[in-house]
Chains A and B, each alone.
Chain A
Protein backbone atom coordinates (compact mmCIF):
# COMPACT_ATOMS: atom_id res chain seq x y z
CA UNK A 1 0.00 0.00 0.00
CA UNK A 2 0.93 3.66 -0.12
CA UNK A 3 3.29 4.98 2.53
CA UNK A 4 1.13 8.07 3.02
CA UNK A 5 -2.58 8.25 2.27
CA UNK A 6 -4.42 11.56 2.22
CA UNK A 7 -8.15 12.29 2.30
CA UNK A 8 -10.20 13.86 0.94
CA UNK A 9 -8.84 14.58 -2.52
CA UNK A 10 -11.14 17.58 -2.91
CA UNK A 11 -12.85 19.71 -0.30
CA UNK A 12 -15.18 22.67 -0.66
CA UNK A 13 -16.19 24.78 2.31
CA UNK A 14 -18.02 28.04 2.82
CA UNK A 15 -15.93 30.98 3.89
CA UNK A 16 -15.71 31.04 7.67
CA UNK A 17 -16.22 27.29 8.08
CA UNK A 18 -13.51 24.86 9.14
CA UNK A 19 -11.61 22.44 6.92
CA UNK A 20 -9.99 19.20 8.02
CA UNK A 21 -7.58 17.09 5.97
CA UNK A 22 -6.37 13.71 7.19
CA UNK A 23 -3.31 11.64 6.45
CA UNK A 24 -2.25 8.18 7.51
CA UNK A 25 1.26 6.78 7.35
CA UNK A 26 2.69 3.31 7.54
CA UNK A 27 6.16 3.65 9.07
CA UNK A 28 5.93 3.69 12.86
CA UNK A 29 9.45 5.14 12.99
CA UNK A 30 8.30 8.33 11.25
CA UNK A 31 8.83 11.24 13.59
CA UNK A 32 8.28 14.46 11.63
CA UNK A 33 5.15 15.47 9.75
CA UNK A 34 5.05 18.62 7.65
CA UNK A 35 2.15 20.13 5.77
CA UNK A 36 2.65 22.08 2.57
CA UNK A 37 0.36 24.47 0.71
CA UNK A 38 0.71 24.78 -3.05
CA UNK A 39 -1.09 27.50 -4.94
CA UNK A 40 -1.66 27.06 -8.65
CA UNK A 41 1.59 27.24 -10.58
CA UNK A 42 3.68 27.89 -7.47
CA UNK A 43 6.03 25.98 -5.25
CA UNK A 44 4.91 23.95 -2.23
CA UNK A 45 5.37 26.04 0.91
CA UNK A 46 5.62 24.70 4.42
CA UNK A 47 2.74 25.98 6.53
CA UNK A 48 3.05 23.92 9.70
CA UNK A 49 4.81 20.82 10.97
CA UNK A 50 4.73 18.58 14.00
CA UNK A 51 7.21 16.24 15.59
CA UNK A 52 6.28 12.99 17.19
CA UNK A 53 6.91 14.14 20.75
CA UNK A 54 3.82 16.40 20.70
CA UNK A 55 0.18 15.69 19.94
CA UNK A 56 -0.95 19.08 18.68
CA UNK A 57 0.49 22.30 17.37
CA UNK A 58 -1.27 25.54 16.52
CA UNK A 59 -0.36 28.58 14.50
CA UNK A 60 -3.17 31.14 14.34
CA UNK A 61 -5.94 29.56 12.22
CA UNK A 62 -3.97 26.43 11.42
CA UNK A 63 -3.45 23.43 13.66
CA UNK A 64 -2.05 19.95 13.22
CA UNK A 65 -2.86 16.95 15.40
CA UNK A 66 -0.94 13.70 15.58
CA UNK A 67 -2.08 10.29 16.78
CA UNK A 68 1.01 8.08 16.83
CA UNK A 69 -0.87 5.01 17.96
CA UNK A 70 -3.23 5.15 15.03
CA UNK A 71 -0.52 6.54 12.74
CA UNK A 72 -2.50 9.45 11.46
CA UNK A 73 -2.23 13.22 11.52
CA UNK A 74 -4.62 15.95 10.49
CA UNK A 75 -4.56 19.55 9.33
CA UNK A 76 -7.24 21.83 10.70
CA UNK A 77 -7.97 25.24 9.21
CA UNK A 78 -10.49 27.37 11.07
CA UNK A 79 -12.34 30.48 9.87
CA UNK A 80 -11.39 29.69 6.29
CA UNK A 81 -10.80 32.53 3.84
CA UNK A 82 -10.76 32.54 0.02
CA UNK A 83 -6.96 32.83 0.07
CA UNK A 84 -6.82 29.44 1.79
CA UNK A 85 -7.89 27.90 -1.53
CA UNK A 86 -4.97 25.75 -2.70
CA UNK A 87 -3.72 22.17 -2.79
CA UNK A 88 -2.46 20.88 0.54
CA UNK A 89 0.05 18.05 0.87
CA UNK A 90 1.02 16.08 3.92
CA UNK A 91 4.33 14.24 4.14
CA UNK A 92 6.00 11.66 6.34
CA UNK A 93 9.56 10.34 6.30
CA UNK A 94 10.45 6.74 5.62
CA UNK A 95 14.12 5.96 5.52
CA UNK A 96 15.82 8.54 3.34
CA UNK A 97 12.68 9.82 1.71
CA UNK A 98 9.71 11.97 2.45
CA UNK A 99 6.57 10.44 1.04
CA UNK A 100 3.95 12.97 0.09
CA UNK A 101 0.24 12.45 0.13
CA UNK A 102 -1.63 12.81 -3.14
CA UNK A 103 -2.92 16.23 -2.15
CA UNK A 104 -6.23 17.82 -1.19
CA UNK A 105 -7.62 20.55 -3.38
CA UNK A 106 -9.36 22.97 -1.01
CA UNK A 107 -11.84 25.51 -2.36
CA UNK A 108 -13.19 28.18 -0.04
CA UNK A 109 -16.41 29.60 -1.41
CA UNK A 110 -16.93 33.30 -0.62
Chain B
Protein backbone atom coordinates (compact mmCIF):
# COMPACT_ATOMS: atom_id res chain seq x y z
CA UNK B 1 0.00 0.00 0.00
CA UNK B 2 2.55 2.56 -1.18
CA UNK B 3 1.87 6.20 -0.53
CA UNK B 4 2.47 9.08 -2.90
CA UNK B 5 5.83 8.54 -4.57
CA UNK B 6 7.94 11.39 -5.81
CA UNK B 7 11.27 11.23 -7.59
CA UNK B 8 13.90 12.29 -7.58
CA UNK B 9 14.18 13.34 -3.93
CA UNK B 10 16.92 15.80 -4.77
CA UNK B 11 17.63 17.41 -8.11
CA UNK B 12 20.48 19.75 -8.97
CA UNK B 13 20.35 21.75 -12.16
CA UNK B 14 22.38 24.57 -13.65
CA UNK B 15 20.67 27.72 -14.81
CA UNK B 16 19.06 27.20 -18.20
CA UNK B 17 18.62 23.45 -17.86
CA UNK B 18 15.33 21.60 -17.61
CA UNK B 19 13.95 19.98 -14.49
CA UNK B 20 11.47 17.10 -14.56
CA UNK B 21 9.74 16.10 -11.36
CA UNK B 22 7.65 12.95 -11.15
CA UNK B 23 4.74 12.00 -8.94
CA UNK B 24 2.91 8.70 -8.71
CA UNK B 25 -0.33 9.05 -6.73
CA UNK B 26 -1.58 6.59 -4.15
CA UNK B 27 -3.36 3.56 -5.51
CA UNK B 28 -6.95 4.44 -6.29
CA UNK B 29 -6.30 8.18 -6.44
CA UNK B 30 -6.88 10.03 -9.69
CA UNK B 31 -6.45 13.61 -8.47
CA UNK B 32 -2.98 15.13 -8.25
CA UNK B 33 -1.91 18.50 -6.88
CA UNK B 34 1.50 20.18 -7.06
CA UNK B 35 2.73 22.67 -4.46
CA UNK B 36 5.90 24.70 -4.09
CA UNK B 37 7.46 25.43 -0.74
CA UNK B 38 10.26 27.92 -0.21
CA UNK B 39 12.43 27.58 2.93
CA UNK B 40 10.50 28.50 6.07
CA UNK B 41 7.41 29.35 4.05
CA UNK B 42 4.03 27.78 3.45
CA UNK B 43 2.74 25.60 0.65
CA UNK B 44 1.79 27.45 -2.52
CA UNK B 45 -0.67 25.76 -4.83
CA UNK B 46 0.56 25.38 -8.39
CA UNK B 47 -1.69 23.04 -10.36
CA UNK B 48 -4.46 20.47 -9.97
CA UNK B 49 -4.78 17.61 -12.44
CA UNK B 50 -6.93 14.59 -13.06
CA UNK B 51 -6.01 11.86 -15.47
CA UNK B 52 -5.23 13.51 -18.81
CA UNK B 53 -6.78 16.83 -17.73
CA UNK B 54 -5.54 20.02 -16.14
CA UNK B 55 -8.34 21.19 -13.86
CA UNK B 56 -6.77 24.30 -12.37
CA UNK B 57 -3.38 25.77 -13.18
CA UNK B 58 -3.96 29.19 -11.69
CA UNK B 59 -0.94 28.84 -9.42
CA UNK B 60 1.51 28.01 -12.18
CA UNK B 61 3.85 30.67 -13.55
CA UNK B 62 2.78 31.48 -17.11
CA UNK B 63 6.14 30.70 -18.63
CA UNK B 64 8.61 27.82 -18.33
CA UNK B 65 6.34 25.68 -16.11
CA UNK B 66 4.07 22.92 -17.34
CA UNK B 67 2.40 19.86 -15.88
CA UNK B 68 0.77 16.74 -17.17
CA UNK B 69 -0.89 13.60 -15.84
CA UNK B 70 -1.06 11.09 -18.68
CA UNK B 71 -3.38 8.13 -18.86
CA UNK B 72 -0.47 5.85 -18.06
CA UNK B 73 2.44 6.77 -15.84
CA UNK B 74 3.19 9.43 -13.27
CA UNK B 75 2.32 13.09 -13.23
CA UNK B 76 5.18 15.27 -14.45
CA UNK B 77 6.00 18.81 -13.42
CA UNK B 78 8.38 20.30 -15.96
CA UNK B 79 10.41 23.45 -15.50
CA UNK B 80 12.25 24.71 -18.53
CA UNK B 81 15.27 27.00 -18.46
CA UNK B 82 15.50 26.94 -14.69
CA UNK B 83 16.62 30.01 -12.77
CA UNK B 84 17.94 30.31 -9.21
CA UNK B 85 14.53 31.47 -8.01
CA UNK B 86 13.09 28.07 -8.92
CA UNK B 87 15.07 26.48 -6.09
CA UNK B 88 12.50 25.10 -3.68
CA UNK B 89 10.84 21.95 -2.43
CA UNK B 90 8.11 20.74 -4.75
CA UNK B 91 5.46 18.57 -3.16
CA UNK B 92 2.89 16.47 -4.88
CA UNK B 93 -0.33 15.36 -3.19
CA UNK B 94 -3.07 13.01 -4.33
CA UNK B 95 -6.65 12.41 -3.34
CA UNK B 96 -9.48 10.08 -4.23
CA UNK B 97 -11.64 12.98 -5.34
CA UNK B 98 -11.66 16.74 -5.14
CA UNK B 99 -13.28 16.99 -1.74
CA UNK B 100 -11.25 14.31 -0.07
CA UNK B 101 -8.09 14.15 1.99
CA UNK B 102 -4.86 15.02 0.22
CA UNK B 103 -1.85 12.83 0.98
CA UNK B 104 1.60 14.25 0.32
CA UNK B 105 4.68 12.76 -1.22
CA UNK B 106 8.12 13.25 0.30
CA UNK B 107 8.88 16.08 -2.09
CA UNK B 108 11.60 16.91 -4.59
CA UNK B 109 14.17 19.44 -3.49
CA UNK B 110 15.35 21.36 -6.51
CA UNK B 111 18.59 23.28 -6.33
CA UNK B 112 19.55 25.54 -9.20
CA UNK B 113 23.22 26.46 -9.34
Contact = CB atoms under 8 A, between A and B. Distances in A.
Interface string A89-105: 10001011111111100
Given A44-B91, A97-B58, A102-B42, A49 B101 contact: yes
A44 B104 contact: yes
Interface in B72-113: 91, 98-99, 101-107
B41 interface: yes
B99 A93 contact: yes
Nearest to B101: A46
A45 interface: yes
B48 A97 contact: yes
A56 B41 CA distance: 28
A32 B101 CA distance: 9
Nearest to A94: B45
Interface size class of A (residues with CB under 8 A): 20 to 34
B88 to A, nearest CB: 14
B18 interface: no
A100 B48 CA distance: 14
Interface in A54-110: 89, 93, 95-103
A51 to B, nearest CB: 9
B69 interface: no
B105 A100 contact: no
A75 B59 CA distance: 27
Contacts of B43: 44, 89, 100
Chain B CB count within 10 A is highest, among A42, A96, A99, for A96
Given A42-B106, A102-B42, A96 B48 contact: yes
Interface string A14-50: 0000000000000000011010100000111110010
Interface of A: 31-32, 34, 36, 42-46, 49, 89, 93, 95-103
Interface of B: 33, 35, 41-45, 48, 55-56, 58-59, 91, 98-99, 101-107
